[in-house]
Amino acid sequence: MKDHANLGKFENPFVTAKGDTRAHVKLSDPQTLWFNTGTLCNIQCENCYILSSPTNDALLYITADEVSDYLDQLDERNWNVGEIAFTGGEPFMNPEMIEIARRALDRGYEVLILTNAMQPLMRKRVQQGLLELRETYRDKLTFRISIDHWNPDNHNAERGEGSFAKMLEGMQWLRDEGFQMKVAGRTLWGETDADSRAGYAALFETHNFPIDAHNPGQTMLFPEMDETVEVPEITTECWGILNKSPNDIMCASSRMVVRRKGSDHASVVACTLLPYVEEFDLGPTLKDAEKPVLLNHPHCAKFCVLGGASCSA
């Protein structure tokens, strides 16, 4: 076991490298339960934080029965969750994705599915399943489309040649069939927030996508998650200095379920951004996951506390 004295930054879970008490976040108002549907993806992005690809199965496909088990636990624990969200990988690579979404919708939850809107979404079996869900749950189902940048060249540089056009094809199908859409973009090109949103607004207007580029709840622009970038550690005093509340941080309102390759059960992790970090694995049940989260990772500082970002709207 490591000696917690005299460790570097983000090495002691309780104390920073300077000896200050590390900040933690309690699960104060659970609103979203995330499921990682599996890390397999139809593409391999240049800077994927979770290393999704056509060959990475480090996180296995979650099953509909596993999802149902955690939905039962939500009832048992009396979490005030209103949204069930799915990310990957590409969720529509998971052969049970339609049934998974159906089970969450049947329970009355809002359902959010993150997707690249490419070939897996456009398969006839998937489209037919989505159309069936639409008939009953149209207003409860939302898709968040990954558009890394409003400029096709920049998007393609991250996601592969031709990916922008294929993504547009999927979005146009969703638009024509009356599905609700949001967008997730990235900020790695050094643009101002205003310039980025103006670019997305022009794209949405050109294609008649009913998405508000100037509403952060509909067009979310995420900072890059480079673990090599120097960031400060977050101490208990930071809340007052930054005029922020721990209740505003993502792990105060959400958890994510993953199924790791080689494990005989699913686990609940503190954060959608850190599915591989053992320290952020809270245990196999939602009861286990009610413990506080120590902000002992660069992403906690850059993405959540200082960046003010959240994977939920």
Q: What is this structure's pTM?
A: 0.93
Give pLDDT, residue 2: 44
Tell me if 13 is assigned to some domain.
no
Tell me if 183 is assigned to some domain.
yes
Give pLDDT, residue 35: 98
How many domains in the chain?
1
Tell me if 141 is assigned to some domain.
yes
Helices 97-106 and 64-77: crossing angle in degrees, nearest 10, is 20
Contact 83, 31 (CB under 8 A): yes
Tell me if 88 is assigned to some domain.
yes
Tell me if 74 is assigned to some domain.
yes
Query: For the chain, what is the HEC assignment?
Result: CCCCCCCCCCCCCCECCCCCEECEECCCCCCEEEEECCCECCCCCCCCCCCCECCCCCECCCCHHHHHHHHHHHHHHCCCCCEEEEECCCHHHCCCHHHHHHHHHHCCCEEEEEECCCHHHHCHHHHHHHHHHHHHHHHHEEEEEECCCCCHHHHHHHHCCCHHHHHHHHHHHHHHCCCEEEEEEECCCCCCHHHHHHHHHHHHHHCCCCCCCCCCCCEEEECCCCCCCCCCCCECCHHHHHCCCHHHCHHHCEEEEECECCCCCCEEECCCCCCCCHHHEEECCCCHHHCCEECCCHHHHHHHHHCCCCCCC
Tell me if 312 is assigned to some domain.
no
pLDDT tens string 155-212: 999 999 999 999 999 999 999 999 999 999 998 888 999 999 999 999 999 999 999 9
Give pLDDT, residue 226: 63
Tokens of 124: 């006839």
Give pLDDT, residue 189: 85
Residue 10: is it exposed, middle or buried by C-beta count within 10 angstroms (0-12/13-18/19+)? Answer: buried
Tell me if 176 is assigned to some domain.
yes
pLDDT tens string 239-257: 999 999 999 999 999 999 9
Domain enclosing residue 220, as ranges = 24-305
Give pLDDT, residue 229: 72
- What CATH number does residue 276 fall under? 3.20.20.70
Rg over alpha carbons for the chain, rounded to the nearest Å, is: 19
Give every residue of the chain whose pLDDT is below 70, as ranges.
Answer: 1-6, 225-228, 308-313
Buried residues in 64-89 as b, exposed as e (16+ CB within 10 A): bebbbebbebbeeeebebebbbbbbb
Tell me if 1 is assigned to some domain.
no
